[in-house]
Structure 1
Amino acid sequence: MGKGFFISKTVGVVGIVLGVGAVSTIIALSVVYSQEKAKNLEVSPTKPPTTTTTSTGAPATTEPSNEQWHKYRLPDTLLPESYEVTLWPRLEKDATSGLYIFTGGSEVTFRCVKETDLILIHSNKLNFTKGANGHLATLTGLDGSSPPAITQSWLEVRTQFLVVKLDGNLKADQRYVLHTQFTGELADDLGGFYRSVYMEDGVEKVVATTQMQPTDARKAFPCFDEPAMKAIFNITLIHPRDRVALSNMEEIAAKNITIDGIEVTETKFAPTPRMSTYLLAFIVSDYTSIGMMAGDVQIRIFARRKAIAAGQGEYALNVTGPILKYFERYYSAPYPLKKSDQIALPDFNAGAMENWGLITYRETALLYDPAFSSNANKERIATIIGHELAHMWFGNLVTLKWWNDLWLNEGFASYVEYLGADDAEPSWGVKDLIVLGDVHRVFAVDALASSHPLSSKEEEIQRPEQISELFDAISYSKGASVLRMLSSFLTEEVFVQGLSTYLNTFAYNNTVYTDLWDHLQAAVEKTGSTNKLPPNSRVHDVMNRWVLQMGFPVVSIDATTGSLSQQHFLLDPDSVVDRPSEFNYEWFVPITWQKSGTQGTAFWLLDKTATNNDLKVTGDQWVLANLNVTGFYRVKYDDANYAKLLNQLTIDHTVIPVINRAQLIDDAFNLARAKHVLTTLALDMTKYLKAETEYMPWESALDNLDFFYLMFDRSEIYGLLQAYIKGQVEPLFNYYQTMTEMWTKVPDGHTDQYNQVNALRMACSTGISACTQLVQTWYKAWMANPANNPIHPNLRSTVYCSAIAAGGVQEWDHGWKMFQSATIATEADKLRSSLACASQPWLLNRYLEYTLNATLIRKQDATSTIVYIANNVVGQPLAWDFMRANWAYIFNEYGGGSFSFSNLINGVTKRFSTEFELQQLQQFKKDNAHVGFGSGTLAVEQSIERTQANIKWLKENKDNVEKWLKQFSP
């Protein structure tokens, strides 16, 4: 702790307790008031307020001004060095107010960089106890200095600051300590210091836990809540004696004390390294754990007692050590802490959070039980653990200075998560799946005129909701895709060498993304690899074109002449791109290729057009570009080359690599939507699928045909589409029926298990009677004997959905009952999604209403449940009406900063394809402007743009699709 004035832990806590005892009702009510006031301010599109003086002399928020406390960013006058934070969460409701609360005390030691008479420190939804000086904080100096007196202190709600004005200046290079005591609500809003609730043996249990990223540490204690404001944190937790306390660092002392007659334990944790506030974590729970050592690092998995007893933490424990050691080798740097705790939470808004030394997860992302969990659940656990452990170095040890470069942090982890999982599970071949999971996924978003660059200007990202909006597919999946491309053309050896020097140079500090380019360039030069880059170019020259402008190119290749060209690929070529680009939407494109199965020499496309005679073909030869889709671009060919590729697929599709078979399908469908090729060419790409048994091409085809379902499942063409897909999938269904000996065995291959699910899902959905009878038999057997589920975990989502869709209220109610009693979250998730498959509107409407009740559908799952219902053609209009009718409630209850808002808006509107639906969407935007859309703001614009594109596509393609389907349907 810092020298100078401070209140000892025991005295400080007693003061907090006494303060709470005296004014608990007032504080509780003021917490609620401040929350509601904050909500109103956050969603009202008003100008920033200025400050006037109230009758008590305290500033009051009124009209706009340029005062520093009306800006969202901290001034460059103060730098924190260390914090002493004591927190006491109450795991029972306050008897008077009926709220869960926490109390706390904080001492932050900071250094003055520039003289100032103002202290700004972030605070949101905290209520402060006045000190002896009559103000919300107390200030003291260190090293014998005397600080100026505090003249005013107040909370600036809109910009989330505790403002402290002084009667003189703090001196440059002097150190000071700011002490505060405060109370907050331990709410169930999934942000800051919050509560998660679960039932065990009929008893309700409360977990006090945290989620700080990106701007919610300020909800737990006053802090300089920006990523560049790194400091050392000394955390102490007060908690019931029968509960476990955890934080980022290892416990160093615990003692039983009594405060106001309440018996508690005080647990102190070791000081953290220099770190950012958003990586802090502290948890009090009734959990237990399993653990092991990985070298000198202690690894522990924490979860509900019954989950640990059932062995659900074993898989995560077994893969964490190997993945951790893999990244130590990958980064050429040891893991910097003594422990790596991972904890599964019943209520958690994100998938997982990389808090240094104490990673938090949704239960579905950490707990595995082979009796309930599918191979997809298992893969998700391995890749998410890989993602979070990758952050221990890239993000935690070295942190980006500001959120505008979030893409590098999240994109990097999204790339190397596949490498870590592949090292732990080498038989899966999981590295290839990045093409489906990230590259193809984000192509769809980045092809919109409303997309955005990976890196924004710092001044464009100021408010918390703007920061939350960056947590999207562009930052994660495009970031992963372009970094994979970079690693590919530099080679992994050069990439990791530059990465290692970057991490070692900037350990415990902050960077901007170009610092990584500098170190990669140095690695290029050190290894003599300048030939990996375009002539006279640096890493910066190549990558800035992919980072600073949105979108990606389509590369057109004429194999008869060897000519190439590139242009900005837009899903709707008529859309207007109003975002300027200093590179005029041109890219340096790494072209990899093969000719009739023989690989050629890679080269760079640096201009709008070029010619490479090596690409010329004769006779039956064909050209295939972007091998294994390592480049972030689409490829279009001339008609003759397409005809040869289609012929090759028909004769022997295995000559073309599996990933590129998936690419040919995905590119063709999206090029057709963008009017680069005929829609019938894209459909022609699916004809060979009768002979295809590999997962990636099938998954690519089904993903793209899903668009046809969205456009046609309310029209007369639906029957033709169903008949065609049925004819294509029936051989795959029979293939797996034989392989699995009438569905009694599980395929050996990881992706074979995935494709078995595709075969079953599509066979049932297209009406293959053998499939329908199979799933109904299984489901009815389960209904007759709920304790003995005969359905393999891999197949449960498909079987549940198909049986509930074909059934009625009895099937639905059985699924709901099993959902309520599920003891592992992965099984609950399968049931929760499948319940949305019902065919009866009243069941779906009832289910929608359940999302408003957190005792039925957890808050973390509410928005995804609405999307599941919207995926159902029967449920889509119901979900749209429901979302519109309840938008203000959903927005305020689930938080405008929720990362799931963009998924909700896009998910509910993705079927929109009529002028009437477009008008409704535009009206929805207008009607709720006063409420706001938070992190879903951009998603509203994307949905409007996508709807307009869908309307055009239908008008231009409906007749041709119908004609083609009539020709090729059985």
Structure 2
Amino acid sequence: LMIGRPYGIPNRRALHDEFLYTHRMGRSSKPLSDSNSNLSFSFSFGMKKVLAIVVLAILLSVVLSSLITYVLTRQPRTFNPETDREDSIPDVSDTSGPSAEALRLPSSLYPENYRLQVKVYLPGYGAKIDKAHNLTADVDLTIRMGVVQSTSEIVLNSKELIYTDQSFSVERKVKSGELSALSFTGFKVEKELEKVTINTDRLNVGDTIYLKIKYSARILDILGGLYVNTYKDAAGNTKLLAMTQMEPTDARRMVPCFDEPSYKATWDVTVEHPEGTVALSNGLETGTIPTSAGWQLTTFKQTPKMSSYLLAIVVGDISKTEKTNENGVLVRVWARHETVADTAYALEAGAKVLAKYDEYFGIKFPLEKMDMVACPDFSAGAMENWGLVTYRETDLLYNAETYGMNEKQRVATVVAHELAHQWFGNLVTMGWWDDLWLNEGFATLVEYDGTDIISDKNYHMEEDFVRDAQDTAFNHDALPTSQPCSFKIDKAIEVAEAFNAISYDKGGSVLRMIRSVLGPAVFQEGLKVYLEKHKYGNAAAADLWAALQVAADNHKIQGPRNAPLNLHHFASQWTTQMGFPVVIAKRLNSSFVEFSQMRYKSTSATQERLKYRNPEFGFKWDIPLTLTRGEGDIVEKFWVDRDHPLVLPLPANEFFVMNIDSFGFYRTHYEDGGWKRIGKALEENHKRFSTRTRARLISDAFAMAQIGKLSYGDLFDMVKEYIKKEDDTLPLNIFNNEYNVIVSYLASEPTGVDLNTFKRGLLRPQYDVVDKAQLVSFFSDDTLFWTNVKTNTVIKEMCSAKDPGCVADEFKDYQDNFLTLCNGTGLMSSECSKVAAPLRMRTYCDGVKYSTPGAYEVVQDLLIKEKNQMEGRALLKALTCTTDIAQLKRQIRGSYRSQLFPFRTLLVSLDPKQSLVRSQDLGTLFSYVSANQLARPFLFDFLFEQWDKIYERLKEDNSILSSVVKGCVNMKSMQQIHQLVTWRNAHAETKSMHAFSEKIATAYKLIDWNRDYGQQVSDYFSKQK
């Protein structure tokens, strides 16, 4: 599963850099002009006057936005932050609801095969469907199962399925091979435990049992189980598509089954569907025949032995492109007819990387075909169903007119991630959800290799890993709300919560470190041992370590304490306890340096959950330390023992840096003036360090300042001359990401103006030489990808720092290439806009922010017409950038009505039928609104006011609900924390939601940072004046 971004996890894909851009900016206090409120846009002033007003507004907004935000968001502190703090991270085991253990199935039976025939009543096509059957499915299911413990009960997972006493029949296979009927004495549905129990005669060990069930299921309007997608075709007609999303525990919504990953079985699927639709499933279709009037039946080849969460069905009016890859696998990409032309890039990417994975893993892809489907409504980013991978449209389709280079990279990355799962996750599956990180961490690691294959290494994925996965993991794992990669699941909610940055990004980062310790070839050798031994079965982390141990022993890999590397002992330190170390280099005397460790925590305001506080390894790690000395490029390797510091002979005049190329999952700190020496070295010749090493130095320096190990004055002095000379994409991105955190902390303070001024000065040399014309004309050229990303970053950051020239150019682009060309034409924005795709999101956003009220209406009406989801995302973002907060409130509350479209509102959460926003994009919407700092106080209140309705609408989709919570809750005062904790105590359903705990911990971190370091930053800039 690829988590949709920024849905829940702060997005680690370059695709969403635009979100961060608006999050870091202050907001203008008013539109540029109040004139021209009608929709004609025959502007009465000339372009020079427009630009003059824009520049004036920018200068005014530097002061006014900070003052307004300060007044709106700052609360008087009447609570003592040291004595009034709440325990912000309740143990999930103390919350209501059944335990995870209670939801487990008994171990007396196991499935061998499911024979599944589904009749899908999808309206709007060739079949006549009565009201009673509309959006339902009739299912005929036979499960063949074995008996390992004698029992008279068959217990299956089942949720919201409709049975009668005539639904069930049970048969036993006798010695002759014939089936003998067993008595059926009743069934019981346990709603809370999501189980159905069928009572029958005694089943004996060794028996083969056939359970036949006929039942009905609803085609749901939530994004799980068998559910419906709605979209408009080219003629404006409403079309429906039915599809499944089963992971983690939604197969039981369509099929009563052994819905746990360890219960693997084959599936024989047949789908009856209306004429005019195509049916797809995991296996290759063997034929489609007509049945009755308006109906047809499609049969599929049997699947390999697999877990229930990988079952997939799609029914809809869709088209495909296809090709056979070099290893003979048929690869097809499916989409609605209007977008099928946008499938070409994903088709080439999928065919190419699937063949290369065959070679890398040493096991051929076991199915004859690989289908990839672009779905209009999809909660996650994508899902790795074996042979039938489903995606969000924005993560599979690619259109050079509306997708920038980052979005194109995103498509390649998601395809590479999901196809890696076909081996690591599908062929070999974790035994239970506590080892989810094995699936997702490995797919995260390999997606970077796969994307390099797709792009012929033009996307620089080794560099991107440092910014994208590793730093994301560091940021999350430094909080008390983190968790180990592998952890005991106590409550059912923790299964859904496990799909997070720790499972994905930390998991991938730890595996990358292990690969660097073993070497790529030895690591690959161990993976082949692992996959071959456990194919079509299940495995735990210990099984992976055992396979890698075989390869390590074959090559005599050394570990700490001068002993052969013990993979299980080494890797378990990084996967069974939360957190990570910082290696501290301290000079003992003129000849020796000591390397010790401490756990890095970005805040100590709150404690970890109780079950994580006392890990076996005591928050200490065996650390694979790498370093280079002086001007040399020889990488030396050592072990920092978890129990003892490392002491090395390093003369006082010998310069050194640690964690070369950022392969280690640890931060570094240099005492005794070490950071100043690094700053001087970077200023004199930053090229002496690789780009990844420079990026790690910058990130670690900011991290040390955050916990008081390095003063902010020394930090700013360290980078102020060097950054002006930095010309590589990765270090610039890392610097801007880290610096923007400080800007966000002080956005409502007068120091925010100084921070922007300082930032403009650092980036001015790069901004003056960037080739914007190349970016605009050749952003789809992969060979220019890295350069274009740098250009885009520099322009974005200069505009975010409110450089008058940058924003004036941006506003002119908005006027000339968007507003003038699209207003009143009747065309969709994706058809009329000439703003270059990489620039659209922020250009539209700032255009609305600085424009007239009439412009807002135009953008809204363009959003209503738009069918391209990527363009729609940019338009949606623009609407949330308005400085008219009263208008935004009306729309969020659902009371706003456009004159042209009186029945459409902006928000979908409370009534999906009256909305411009798809269910899948709710988290994105709240992320966008939250980026507008003037809207944050309103969002905070909105959550309290509308919680019952929000929860009722989204409680079945933890990812989207968590994203909405994170968008609404942005606190910066003890009063707000107290208000939230008090409210939360009165709403039991929120106690188990990790999103609230994370936002409370983040708020404490912000409050403490402002208390401890805010004045330090302010004093630094005061001295510069």
CA contact (8 A) 1:753 1:794 kept: no
Aligned position for 1:618: 652
SS in 2 for 1:428: coil
Is there any run of 5+ residues in structure 2 with no aligned partner, and where? 1-91, 823-830, 895-905
Is there any run of 5+ residues in structure 1 with no aligned partner, and where? 1-41, 49-65
Measured in 2, the distance between the counterparts of 1:382 and 1:70 equals 38
Q: CA deviation at 1:709?
A: 2.4
Measured in 2, the distance between the counterparts of 1:98 and 1:956 equals 63
**CA 1:165–1:681: 2 relative to 1, 3 Å:** farther
Q: CA deviation at 1:533?
A: 9.3
SS in 2 for 1:126: coil
Q: CA deviation at 1:819?
A: 2.7
SS in 2 for 1:312: helix
Aligned position for 1:377: 407
**CA 1:722–1:531: 2 relative to 1, 3 Å:** closer
Residue-by-residue CA offset, 1:318-348 (whole Å, 9 max, x unaligned): 1111111111111011111100000000000
**CA 1:684–1:617: 2 relative to 1, 3 Å:** farther
Residue-by-residue CA offset, 1:822-850 (whole Å, 9 max, x unaligned): 34322222222333222220232244342
CA contact (8 A) 1:442 1:477 kept: yes
SS in 2 for 1:83: strand
Q: CA deviation at 1:43?
A: 14
Amino acid at match of 2:411: I
Whether 1:413 aligns to 2:446 is no
CA contact (8 A) 1:593 1:625 kept: yes
Aligned position for 1:303: 335
Q: CA RMSD in A?
A: 2.3
- The worse-fitting range, judged by mean Cα deviation, of 420-429 and 99-108 is 99-108
- The worse-fitting range, judged by mean Cα deviation, of 623-632 and 741-750 is 741-750
Measured in 2, the distance between the counterparts of 1:742 and 1:249 equals 43
Match of 2:365 among 329, 335, 353: 335
Q: CA deviation at 1:101?
A: 1.5
Q: Map 1:554-569 to 2 at 5 A.
A: 554-559=582-587, 561-569=592-600
Aligned position for 1:892: 952
Aligned position for 1:918: 977
Aligned position for 2:1008: 952
Whether 1:635 aligns to 2:665 is no
Aligned position for 2:47: none
SS in 1 for 2:103: coil
Measured in 2, the distance between the counterparts of 1:742 and 1:409 equals 37
Whether 1:761 aligns to 2:821 is no
Residue-by-residue CA offset, 1:602-658 (whole Å, 9 max, x unaligned): 0110134423324x2433x42110111100000000142111111112222222221
Q: CA deviation at 1:156?
A: 0.7
**CA 1:486–1:254: 2 relative to 1, 3 Å:** same
Q: CA deviation at 1:871?
A: 1.5
Measured in 1, the distance between the counterparts of 2:769 and 2:423 equals 45
Measured in 2, the distance between the counterparts of 1:548 and 1:344 equals 37
CA contact (8 A) 2:605 2:1004 kept: no
Measured in 1, the distance between the counterparts of 2:462 and 2:991 equals 35
Match of 1:658 among 691, 713, 718: 691
SS in 1 for 2:458: helix
Aligned position for 2:158: 123
Aligned position for 2:933: 873
Q: CA deviation at 1:924?
A: 3.6
Whether 1:190 aligns to 2:223 is yes
Aligned position for 1:353: 383
Measured in 1, the distance between the counterparts of 2:110 and 2:778 equals 62
CA contact (8 A) 2:225 2:252 kept: yes
Match of 1:212 among 220, 227, 246: 246
Amino acid at match of 1:921: L
Amino acid at match of 1:271: Q
Whether 1:928 aligns to 2:962 is no
Q: CA deviation at 1:95?
A: 5.2
**CA 1:520–1:741: 2 relative to 1, 3 Å:** closer
CA contact (8 A) 2:382 2:418 kept: yes
Q: Map 1:526-545 to 2 at 5 A.
A: 526-530=554-558, 535-545=563-573
Match of 2:994 among 938, 942, 957: 938
CA contact (8 A) 1:665 1:685 kept: no
Q: Map 1:223-234 to 2 at 5 A.
A: 223-234=257-268
**CA 1:904–1:653: 2 relative to 1, 3 Å:** farther
Aligned position for 1:35: none
Measured in 2, the distance between the counterparts of 1:44 and 1:478 equals 27
Amino acid at match of 2:403: S
Amino acid at match of 2:872: A
Residue-by-residue CA offset, 1:863-890 (whole Å, 9 max, x unaligned): 2211111122112222222223222322
SS in 1 for 2:279: strand
Residue-by-residue CA offset, 1:658-688 (whole Å, 9 max, x unaligned): 1222222221222222222223333334312
SS in 1 for 2:916: coil
**CA 1:363–1:690: 2 relative to 1, 3 Å:** same
CA contact (8 A) 2:473 2:505 kept: yes
Amino acid at match of 2:1021: L
Match of 2:703 among 670, 684, 687: 670
Aligned position for 2:919: 859
Residue-by-residue CA offset, 1:532-588 (whole Å, 9 max, x unaligned): 996244111110000111100011012563101111111124544442111111101
Q: CA deviation at 1:600?
A: 3.7
- Whose relative contact order is higher, 1 or 2, with alpha carbons under 8 Å and at least 6 apart? 2
Q: Map 1:121-520 to 2 at 5 A.
A: 121-131=156-166, 136-143=167-174, 144=178, 146=180, 148-166=182-200, 168-200=201-233, 201-258=235-292, 262-294=293-325, 295-308=327-340, 311-425=341-455, 426-457=457-488, 460-461=489-490, 463=492, 465-520=493-548
SS in 1 for 2:758: helix
Measured in 2, the distance between the counterparts of 1:761 and 1:117 equals 66
Measured in 2, the distance between the counterparts of 1:313 and 1:217 equals 28
- The worse-fitting range, judged by mean Cα deviation, of 265-274 and 559-568 is 559-568
Q: CA deviation at 1:248?
A: 0.3
Amino acid at match of 2:821: N
SS in 2 for 1:141: strand
**CA 1:939–1:713: 2 relative to 1, 3 Å:** same
SS in 1 for 2:683: helix
Amino acid at match of 1:389: L
CA contact (8 A) 1:896 1:933 kept: no
Q: Map 1:668-747 to 2 at 5 A.
A: 668-687=701-720, 688-737=722-771, 740=773, 746=779
Amino acid at match of 1:954: N
Residue-by-residue CA offset, 1:201-223 (whole Å, 9 max, x unaligned): 11111101000000000111111
Measured in 1, the distance between the counterparts of 2:935 and 2:314 equals 39
Aligned position for 2:626: 592
Aligned position for 1:803: 847
CA contact (8 A) 2:729 2:786 kept: yes
**CA 1:842–1:751: 2 relative to 1, 3 Å:** farther
Measured in 1, the distance between the counterparts of 2:409 and 2:705 equals 33
Measured in 2, the distance between the counterparts of 1:540 and 1:932 equals 37
Match of 1:772 among 807, 810, 817: 807
Amino acid at match of 2:103: Y
CA contact (8 A) 2:437 2:504 kept: yes
Amino acid at match of 2:835: I
Measured in 1, the distance between the counterparts of 2:410 and 2:806 equals 27
Aligned length: 889
CA contact (8 A) 1:148 1:170 kept: no
Measured in 2, the distance between the counterparts of 1:689 and 1:844 equals 38
SS in 2 for 1:817: helix
CA contact (8 A) 1:760 1:798 kept: no
Measured in 1, the distance between the counterparts of 2:585 and 2:617 equals 22
Q: CA deviation at 1:45?
A: 6.0
Q: Map 1:14-53 to 2 at 5 A.
A: none
- The worse-fitting range, judged by mean Cα deviation, of 115-124 and 671-680 is 671-680
Residue-by-residue CA offset, 1:369-412 (whole Å, 9 max, x unaligned): 11111101110011110000000011101111111100011000
Amino acid at match of 2:525: Q
Whether 1:77 aligns to 2:108 is yes
